[in-house]
Each structure stands twice: as C-alpha cells, then as structure tokens.
C-alpha cells in the first residue's frame, strides 16, 4: 500500500522515531534543478544548498518550521 506523508509520520511516531526525523520536511521537494535559473552547475547547486540552509535556520529560529 502507498502511504501519504502524514501516514508515514504517524507510523514513525508509533515506532518511536525521534521527532527530528518524523517531522523533517522533505528535501528537496521538487528537486534542486527546478530552483536553478539557467544552466545547472555544481556552483549553482552549492549556492542553492547554502541558501536553503540559511532559510531553514531562520524558520527554525522563528519557530515556524513545524507550523
């Protein structure tokens, strides 16, 4: 059977997995390449990863990650 994201999280909680794993947002959602304008290069992907890390840090600091 295929499970939806909320069902998978419920199974993870039942199994006692840590919240940091169960509540983790999928990355990358649609994929890194969809977020890059122009040619896909290692440098652009590295820049995107750095930007994503900053974004996640800020939404966690604002306590918005799980909302």
**Phi, psi angle pair for 34, to nearest 5°:** -65, -20
How remote is the C-alpha of 63 from its chain's centroid? Answer: 15
pLDDT tens for the chain, 67 residues long, are 788 888 999 999 999 999 888 888 776 666 777 888 899 899 998 998 899 899 989 998 999 987 7
- Find all residues with CB under 8 Å of 28, minimum gap 6, and list them: 35, 52
- How many Å apart are CA 21 and CA 37, to the nearest integer? 31
């Amino acid at each position: 059977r295929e499970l939806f994201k909320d069902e998978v999280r419920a199974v993870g909680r039942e199994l006692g997995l840590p919240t940091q794993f169960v509540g983790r947002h999928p990355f990358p959602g649609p994929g890194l390449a969809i977020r890059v304008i122009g040619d896909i290069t290692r440098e652009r992907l590295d820049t995107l990863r750095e930007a994503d890390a900053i974004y996640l840090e800020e939404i966690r600091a604002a306590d918005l990650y799980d909302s």
